[in-house]
Chains A and B, each alone.
Chain A
Amino acid sequence: MAKREYSYYPGCSSQDGASSSNLKRSIDTMCEVLDVKLNEIPDWNCCSASIGYGSGGVLPRMSLSARNIALSEQHNPGQDIVATCAACWLATKEAAERFKEDENFFQEANTVLAEANLKMTNQTPIRHMCEVLIEDIGYEALSEGVKKPLEGVKIAGYVGCQTNRPFGIAGESFENPMYLDKMVDALGGESIPTYEKKVQCCGGALAFSEPEKSQEMIKGIIEAAYDNGADMIATPCPLCQANVEIYQDQINERFGTKFEMPVVYYSQLIDVAYGRSAEDAALDGQIIKAKKLEDIAGK
């Protein structure tokens, strides 16, 4: 039996053939090496992220999260819900808190759930995978399992917005969270605690609707990584990862830059440091190859 078990909410972008399917693959490998069992919430639905507000009101939006909470209670009782996507985590946690603060709102959500023959008690803690790593496993235990330290790899820890605000990780500051840097250090890599763009917004959903405005911000995130001598950027957020990695061609064209900065997930760093192959770490999902990680994985 696995040491730890959680109710897992992977989210839309993690599905096969979706933009962060590489996150899910690397998380699966990470959970294998850390002896964590993830029980996917059966039939989970989209949380509507942070862009659904324009069409869904408050109750419709939060009902989406209520359904996931109810399904988790029913199928994975007693297990904390763990999300790997910043928006999934934020939307679910926000809904759960709103239901706790406002009894009427909680009743309304249950009235809505009854339409699908569901109900929730809303007692389940809603957690981010990074909280599992930091609070349940810990940096020390994380570093103990390292087989191939990420020696000589300089990594800019890009936390982004929604993994960091408004909830964030307990004990960390909103302006300068250190947990990604500590993770990098625990894996034997070289962190950049002073990376000044670690909580800069990448534009989020506006990278699609307002590309000019967003790409200007993304440019700053990448530029600062170069200025700090980073070999790659690592992030916990699927939208941060995509926005910062996939538009580099367009940014180069727009601003005359010559960016080619790999952007990986913390889970991929762990997979490689724990001795797993480039494929298990889903490094084949990079558009800009993380060569230094591939080299370590191939050793």
Chain B
Amino acid sequence: MSDMNTAMVEKYRNDFLKEVGANVEEGRWVKMCMQCGVCSGSCPLGPYWEHPPQEIFMMIRAGKRDEVLTSDSMWMCTSCYNCIVRCPRELPITHIMHGLATYAKRLGLAPKNQPTAQFSEIFWNNMMKRGRVNELKLGLSLYFKDGFSQGIKNALANQKLGMNMMKAKRMSPAEFFGGHGIKDVSGLQKMIKKAKEIELGKLKANS
């Protein structure tokens, strides 16, 4: 995707605000931010953001493209929607943060090894395989994302939790072999392929 990154830099030059408005989910709202800071103060993970939402909005306007898109800040969003319901200007902040994260990942700029970025991808791939989430494999993929030996360590550290869940019939070893899924997997996969084509087509037309 770095070709697309180069193309976007070429096209928008110094106007990152315009680039965000054209390509990021709900990005056209960024210019409405009045810098009151309620979003940053309302975020449950606020202290962990290198650049909290209010700052991200100002950085976008100041053209700090690399700093924003390579930041791991947006990945701190837990999708709690606190910022959305409190924003006096009614900016869809949660969506903008998701949008910035997705855009950064598409351009290949998202920080590598950011755990939530990795989990997001694991989740998406897991779900797309059979149309429904396979929780057992989701957990295992997360444990083993940093290699086999770390995976065993993680699995052992969470052994009691797994046993508890199995005892309560809220986790099933049978899920390892197939598990739940939808009938029309191929129809769903065709749909998502088409949706990605349409979306990528628009991004290319904008670059």
Enumerate chain A interface residues (CB-CB to B < 8 A): 12-13, 15-22, 43-46, 48-60, 63-64, 67, 108, 111-113, 115-118, 161-162, 165-166, 174, 200-201, 203-206, 208-210, 213-214, 217, 242, 246-247, 249-250, 284-287
Contacts and interface: CB of A to CB of B under 8 A. Distances in A.
15 contacts: A43-B182, A51-B116, A53-B101, A53-B102, A55-B120, A59-B196, A60-B195, A60-B196, A67-B191, A111-B198, A113-B191, A162-B80, A174-B85, A201-B80, A203-B78
B175 A249 contact: no
Contacts of A287: 164-165, 167-168, 170
Nearest to A284: B168
Interface in B94-119: 94, 98-99, 101-102, 105-106, 115-119
Contacts of B34: none
A46 B78 contact: no
B32 interface: no
A219 to B, nearest CB: 13
A44 B182 CA distance: 7
B64 to A, nearest CB: 22
Contact of A12 (B81, B133, B165, B171): B133
Contacts of B204: none
Nearest 7 interchain pairs by C-beta: A54-B120, A17-B172, A116-B187, A55-B124, A50-B79, A165-B81, A201-B80
Contact of B191 (A19, A53, A115): A115
B205 interface: no
A111 B190 CA distance: 11
B170 A51 contact: no
Interface in B116-157: 116-121, 123-125, 127, 131-133, 135, 139, 142
Interface residues of B, number: 65
B169 A21 contact: yes
B119 A59 contact: no
B131 A45 contact: yes
Contacts, number: 202
Given A45-B182, A165-B84, 7 more contacts: A12-B133, A17-B171, A18-B170, A57-B196, A60-B199, A112-B192, A165-B85
Chain B contact residues, majority secondary structure: helix
Contacts of B106: 57
Nearest to A204: B78
Contacts of A213: 45, 48
A44 B131 CA distance: 8
B164 A201 contact: no
Interface in B46-98: 48, 75-76, 78-82, 84-86, 94, 98
Given A12-B180, A19-B165, A60-B192, A204 B198 contact: no
B80 A161 contact: yes
A87 to B, nearest CB: 8
A50 B6 CA distance: 30
A205 B116 contact: yes
Nearest to A212: B48
A5 to B, nearest CB: 23
B8 interface: no
Interface in B156-181: 160-161, 164-165, 167-172, 174-175, 180
A162 B131 contact: no
Contacts of A117: 187
Given A116-B187, A217-B44, A46 B127 contact: yes
Nearest to B118: A209
B79 A205 contact: yes
Given A12-B180, A15-B132, A57-B102, A206 B127 contact: no
A205 B138 CA distance: 12
A117 B184 CA distance: 11
B121 A54 contact: yes
A43 B185 CA distance: 10
A165 B25 contact: no
A49 B116 CA distance: 14
A115 B79 contact: no
B170 A49 contact: no
B161 A249 contact: yes
A165 B80 contact: yes
Contact of A55 (B121, B133, B198): B121
B187 to A, nearest CB: 3
Contact of B82 (A63, A112, A201, A210): A201
B125 A55 contact: yes
Contacts of B38: none
B161 A247 contact: yes
Nearest to A25: B169
